[in-house]
């Protein structure tokens, strides 16, 4: 086997950018790159290991023997080791053997920039030279409009390993998902899918949130080009793709990023800031330039190489606070004496500025569970710069309300109305995510009180309320047909349930809610603006009724929403309306096709009778545990 030839893809400018933390296309330089050098085919390797005394490439090409193919360290103090090995091509398995200056420690590591990895539990990196021709030009030309904050944004959250499986419980491949999943999402009317982490991860029960291969789509379902094919097919169907992304922590697996070159290279060296007690994982050192460049390069990689339309950033709260999930004495205040992680905040701002600077037609979405201010406001006015933020408070309060027996709900109306006191402080996405249907929390269906009919009626009401509340929406897989059991990452959803009337009814309801959301501008044009919402009456706690107006740019687009949170029909119920005329019913969650008790009057004329501060009013029937929408 030929020995290593001195070669570099780095210019002096590249190195200066890397050292200063401003090189955001490191995936073009670091890692393994099949290429031709002086007429010879082979692969160029480059890895950052500044504490190393020597670095060798080991793999199936040299029987994993150490020191046979040593890389050359650069002279410029960058800590980059590199070299070209002839005869190595796509499909070669490899790792880096790193002999550290630190007490002679030797580590064997997967490539942090590998674009493909062995199928877990195997841990080697794979040299990969895939070629893919995209066919999503139409989508890419218009996605800036489709991803706009004043357009419909309805997200279907998917765990690829459990959405659907084969009869023998094997995974569907990316290519098979490109048929089944794409067709289903299109049919259901969602505008976007959000994939729980698809970057390579070693441990199935982590659901993908403990990453070891940040630049590699997991090999569980196929190779990188097959994942591109799935994204491409979704785009061709007019569906955007959001990836869950985890820059908050990473596992301590021996082949991963931890203690990479015998030093705390990627993680913060102080365990009070570098170790996460909840997840028993390591926390990135956000103050280290090269680590920031690694993470921002990774974000841009998926947007650039995989045409991804958005990144949902996981566990942002754990990044923002030094005392997150820590007791007194387990954390150290910042230079101002408070609990904010200034380095992480700076990193997040730079991340969002860089993402939007390079890809202005995508969205970043924060999964952030605290009241940290201005998460989805621009960096130039002091915000963190995300496009949207998950509305965790709304989710929690709403589910707590719905769990209560209807007879007690009149005492808890504030659980529903409170969200409107802060709904426009951020660009909020309303999530019913995977986190709400695991660890004994029950499925959404079985959180609902009452007999079978009431459980399904409550769930129809919950979803209808969600779609008419300001903000964008996210529903986790299975929720759209009322999966009755908790989510199990290790098996398929219970698709057989869709043969039953009530489950099929929920599925029809979600289809129609997506259709209505996309068809009526009042539900999306001002979804993040106070101008897009007006209470008619939030004070009728005795009847557990809420009435409100959703508004678009044109007054004739306004929608009137009336919601009854009890199983008692509210007949001849009078509400004020902003102008006279005939109101047409455009939606009724109690319709028979959804499993309800039947449709009500399809239109109603206003009367010159002042009510709720309006000159005109209407008298309607609000169905039991139901919502009606009028235009």
Tell me which residues are annotated as active site: 314, 367
Instruction: Report the sign of the C-alpha dihedral through residues 187, 189, 191, 194, in that order.
Output: negative
Bond before 585 cis per omega within 30 degrees: no
Enter the tokens of residue 229: 């094919």
Question: Taking CA 221 as the corner, what is the angle to CA 219 and CA 223, rounded to the nearest 5 degrees?
Answer: 50
The set of residues, in sequence order, having a beta carbon less than 8 Å from that of 203 and lying 6+ positions away, is: 120, 210, 251
Q: Which of 112, 3, 110 is nearest to 59 (CA)?
A: 110
- Strand bridging mode 472-476 / 154-158: parallel
- Strand bridging mode 570-577 / 428-432: unpaired
The helix, strand and coil proportions of the chain, stated in percent and rounded to the nearest 5, come to 30, 25, 45
Q: How many CB atoms lie within 10 A of CB 451?
A: 9
Whole-angstrom distance, CA of residue 368 vs CA of residue 59:
41
Whole-angstrom distance, CA of residue 622 vs CA of residue 607:
18
H-helix segments, 269-336: 271-274, 289-305, 316-320
- Residue 396, CA distances (Å) to 418, 422, 530 in order: 12, 14, 22
Whole-angstrom distance, CA of residue 560 vs CA of residue 576:
10
Whole-angstrom distance, CA of residue 536 vs CA of residue 575:
7
Indicate the length of the chain as a whole number.
Answer: 631
Enter the tokens of residue 425: 């402080």
The set of residues, in sequence order, having a beta carbon less than 8 Å from that of 135 and lying 6+ positions away, is: 232, 236
Coil vs helix vs strand at 245: strand
Alpha-carbon dihedral 83, 88, 94, 97, rounded to 10 degrees: -30
Enter the tokens of residue 386: 């995300």
Enter the tokens of residue 572: 């001849």
CB 313 within 8 A of CB 367: yes
| Main-chain dihedrals φ then ψ at residue 603, nearest 5 degrees | -150, 160
């Amino acid at each position: 086997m030929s020995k290593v030839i001195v070669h570099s893809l780095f210019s002096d400018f590249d190195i200066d950018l890397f050292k200063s933390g401003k090189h955001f296309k490191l995936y073009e330089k670091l890692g393994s790159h099949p290429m031709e050098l002086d007429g010879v085919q082979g692969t160029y390797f480059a890895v950052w290991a500044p504490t190393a005394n020597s670095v060798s490439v080991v793999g199936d090409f040299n029987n994993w023997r150490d020191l046979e193919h040593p890389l050359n360290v650069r002279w410029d103090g960058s800590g980059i080791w590199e070299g070209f090995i002839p005869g190595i091509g796509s499909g070669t398995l490899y790792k880096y053997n790193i002999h550290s200056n630190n007490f002679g420690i030797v580590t064997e590591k997967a490539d942090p920039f590998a674009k493909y990895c062995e199928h877990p539990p195997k841990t080697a990196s794979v040299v990969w030279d895939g070629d893919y021709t995209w066919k999503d030009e139409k989508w890419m030309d218009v996605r800036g409009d489709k991803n706009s904050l004043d357009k419909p944004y309805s997200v279907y959250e998917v765990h690829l390993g459990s959405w659907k499986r084969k009869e023998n419980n094997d995974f569907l491949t990316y290519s098979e998902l490109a048929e089944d999943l794409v067709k289903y999402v299109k049919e259901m009317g969602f505008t976007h899918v959000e994939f729980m982490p698809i970057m390579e991860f070693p441990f199935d029960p982590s659901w993908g949130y403990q990453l070891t291969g940040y630049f590699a789509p997991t090999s569980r379902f196929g190779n990188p080009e097959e994942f591109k094919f799935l994204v491409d097919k979704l785009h061709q169907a007019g569906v955007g793709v959001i990836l869950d992304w985890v820059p908050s922590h990473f596992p301590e697996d021996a082949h991963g990023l931890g203690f990479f070159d015998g030093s705390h290279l990627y993680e913060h060296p102080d365990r009070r800031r570098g170790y996460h007690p909840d997840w028993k994982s390591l926390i990135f050192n956000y103050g280290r330039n090269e680590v920031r460049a690694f993470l921002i390069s990774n974000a841009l990689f998926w947007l650039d190489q995989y045409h991804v339309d958005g990144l949902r950033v996981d566990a942002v709260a754990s990044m923002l606070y030094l005392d997150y999930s820590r007791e007194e004495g387990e954390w150290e205040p910042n230079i101002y004496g408070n609990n904010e992680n200034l380095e992480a905040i700076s990193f997040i701002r730079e991340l969002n500025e860089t993402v939007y600077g390079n890809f202005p037609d995508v969205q970043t979405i924060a999964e952030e569970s605290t009241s940290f201010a201005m998460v989805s406001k621009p960096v130039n006015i002091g915000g963190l710069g995300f496009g949207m933020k998950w509305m965790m408070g709304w989710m929690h309060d709403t589910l707590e309300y719905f769990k209560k027996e209807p007879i007690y709900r009149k005492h808890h109306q504030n659980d529903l109305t409170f969200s409107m006191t802060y709904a426009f402080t951020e660009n909020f996405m309303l999530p019913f995510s995977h986190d709400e249907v695991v660890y004994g929390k029950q499925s959404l269906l079985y959180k609902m009180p009452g007999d079978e009919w009431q459980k399904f009626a409550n769930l129809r009401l919950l979803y209808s309320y969600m779609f008419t509340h300001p903000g964008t929406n996210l529903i986790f897989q299975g929720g759209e047909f009322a999966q009755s059991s908790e989510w199990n990452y290790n098996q398929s959803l219970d698709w057989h349930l869709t043969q039953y009337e009530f489950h099929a009814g929920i599925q029809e309801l979600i289809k129609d809610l997506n259709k209505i959301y996309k068809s009526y501008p009042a539900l999306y044009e001002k979804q993040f603006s106070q101008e897009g919402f007006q209470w008619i009456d939030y004070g009728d706690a005795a009847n557990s009724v809420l009435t409100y107006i959703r508004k678009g740019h044109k007054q004739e687009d306004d929608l009137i929403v009336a919601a009854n949170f009890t199983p008692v029909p509210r007949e001849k119920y009078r509400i004020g309306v902003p102008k006279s005329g005939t109101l047409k019913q455009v939606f009724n969650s109690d319709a028979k096709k959804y499993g309800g008790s039947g449709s009500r009057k399809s239109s109603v004329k206003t009367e010159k009778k002042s009510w709720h501060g309006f000159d005109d009013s209407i008298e309607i029937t609000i169905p039991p545990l139901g919502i009606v929408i009028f235009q």
